[in-house]
Amino acid sequence: MFHPLQRRPPASIYSYCARSAHWEGRPGLAQALRSRYQWLLGWFQKEPEKCPGPKSLLSLLASQCSYVTGQRVRRAQQIGQLYGDIYSERTRWSLFSCLWRRFQARHASACKLMAALAGVFLWEEERIQEEELRRSAEEMKHMEEVSRLFHSSGGEHQKLVSKTHVDITTTREEQPWEMVMDKKHFKLWRRPIQGTHLYQYRVFGTYTDVTPRQFFNVQLDTEYRKKWDSLVIKLDVIERDLTTGSEVIHWVTHFPYPMYSRDYVYVRRYDVDQENNLMVLVSRAVEHPGIPEDPEFVRVRSYESQMVIRPHKTFDENGFDYLLTYSDNPQTVFPRYCVSWMVSSGMPDFLEKLHTAALKAKRMEIEVRDYISAKPIETGSSGEGKASMPGAEHKNEDTHSPAQLEYA
């Protein structure tokens, strides 16, 4: 490549051009350069009122930039049209995704800023990963070991078994679990979340009068939940990832009086492992540019939930064990023990309502979408991408938010 010339005064440039022309055996060119140099020097030395002002120079620069930009845009359109004629839509999506991932790997922070300004949700960063599903399945295996120890030890060794649960499921860096509730088919533990005043909760239970498929489908069906959960104000699927089936959910729910209603924006992903006879549902809070905060609700930004279901026999026969691990930060000003009491009492109540809804759907043959047998979303000719869901409002007209006395 050519080496750039160093910046020199006009006289030096003129001397350089003149010497170059002389060396090439073209003295006429040197005379022409001398004339042009003298004309340019005289143009700059004119009276101030005849010289172009800063505005004129800026307008010339803007015109030049506009011309160059227009050329680049037209060139990009021609390239896009050419690739559209040559490749299919699926191949174009794959090519664009590959280029976007490369650019994002080099400029991660800039990509996030661009996505936020453009109102785009970055699935590469926010989707539920395979590792999260696998970790939840491993926790279920640990709890099954605890359950076997519990049944083999008998009631008199209950405290010892609870300690065994701590030894199995925690490491030295983690906080120990504390049993909060112990019933025949339902056990609730909690442990403090490091660095906060909040708790993480874990429920291990059993149902014998409903099939795992029905229980799993009722939990995932957002439309049916609007009917059986009276606390729901809004529950919509905002966007869906065609690669993994992950979904972005906007959930608005009532909180006990006098607290404001809360709204959650979270991504969820489920997996049905036919080989290992497991069903896993993982959810966690995310930020979505298409769902700004509403002053009527309090946005919950810290939320995680993992539900694992193990059928006793098959997906379509009654009986299964489930493991639910849950934590969130409702951003309330109430003391820690009040929040702990609300969660400890509210979680069993929610699970019982979910169980009742599954029984009702089974006995009354209410149509519930079968998520286990559902085929992957048809992507047409596109491979990797996203599907936006209609953002219709589903707010109940006969419900209203609690009185907002103060931020709680």
Name the region of 284 (left: φ>0; alpha: ψ -120 to 50; beta: rest). Answer: beta
Q: What pLDDT shows up at residue 391?
A: 45
For 226, residues 6+ apart whose C-beta sits below 8 A from its C-beta are 232, 235, 394, 396
Quote the CA–CA distance of 373 and 286 in Å, as a whole number. Answer: 28
For 163, phi and psi rounded to 5 degrees?
A: -65, -35
Look at residues 318, 294, 320 and name the one whose alpha carbon lies nearest to residue 307. 320
Of all helices (H) and strands (E), which one includes residue 201? strand 199-207
State the maximum Cα–Cα separation within the chain, in Å, rounded to a whole number. Answer: 112
Quote the CA–CA distance of 388 and 206 in Å, as a whole number. Answer: 36
Of all helices (H) and strands (E), which one includes residue 22? helix 10-23
For 157, residues 6+ apart whose C-beta sits below 8 A from its C-beta are none
Dihedral sign (CA 268, 269, 272, 276): negative
Q: What pLDDT shows up at residue 395?
A: 40
Q: What does 118-165 look like in DSSP terms, one character per residue?
A: HT---HHHHSPPHHHHHHHHHHHHHHHHHHHHHHHH-GGGHHHHHHHH
Of all helices (H) and strands (E), which one includes residue 188? strand 186-192
Across the strands, what pairs with 251? Answer: 235, 264
Quote the CA–CA distance of 99 and 105 in Å, as a whole number. Answer: 10
Q: What pLDDT shows up at residue 384?
A: 47
Across the strands, what pairs with 200? Answer: 191
Look at residues 314, 307, 341, 83 and name the one whose alpha carbon lies nearest to residue 199. 341
Q: What pLDDT shows up at residue 74?
A: 82
The amino acid present at 349, given as its one-letter code, is: D
For 192, phi and psi rounded to 5 degrees?
A: -70, 145
Q: For residue 67, what are its two tokens?
A: 């011309």
Question: Is-cis flag, bond preceding 258, omega within 30?
Answer: yes
Q: For residue 144, what are its two tokens?
A: 């099954």
Dihedral sign (CA 254, 258, 264, 269): negative
Length of the chain equals 408
Q: What pLDDT shows up at residue 27?
A: 58
User: Do 219 and 307 contact (CB within 8 A), yes or no?
Assistant: yes
H helices within 201-335, ranges in order?
A: 212-220, 222-228
Walk along the chain (408 residues) in steps of 10 and give the mean pLDDT of each run: 50 50 54 66 55 64 78 81 71 66 60 54 83 93 80 52 46 76 88 86 94 94 94 94 90 88 95 93 92 92 95 95 92 76 82 93 80 57 50 41 34
Q: What does 301-339 look like in DSSP terms, one character per residue?
A: --EEEEEEEEESS-TTSS-EEEEEEEEE-----S-HHHH
For 135, residues 6+ apart whose C-beta sits below 8 A from its C-beta are none
Quote the CA–CA distance of 356 and 348 in Å, as a whole number. Answer: 12
pTM exceeds 0.85: no
Quote the CA–CA distance of 89 and 66 in Å, as a whole number. Answer: 31
The amino acid present at 399, given as its one-letter code, is: T
